[in-house]
Amino acid sequence: MRGLLFEAASCIIRQVKRFSALKSWAVRLAGRRGFRKAAVATARKFAVLMLTP
């Protein structure tokens, strides 16, 4: 599951062209901290969004 979340986050950062607040946040974070850390942080946000009722 962890790998799939990371893969989804990577796709959001790299390939998705449509604007979203999550993508904007992730791209800014990738510029500051690096791509891999931004992808892990975005994957964590995905997990939190999925678990929140």
Q: pLDDT of 25-42, one tens digit each?
A: 999 999 999 999 999 999
To the nearest whole number, what is the mean pLDDT of the chain?
95
pTM: 0.88
- pLDDT tier for residue 53 given thresholds of 50, 70 and 90: confident
Rounded distance between C-alpha atoms, residue 6 and residue 45, angstroms: 11
Q: Which two tokens stand for residue 20?
A: 């979203």
Q: Higher-confidence residue: 45 or 53?
A: 45
Q: How many residues in total does the chain contain?
A: 53
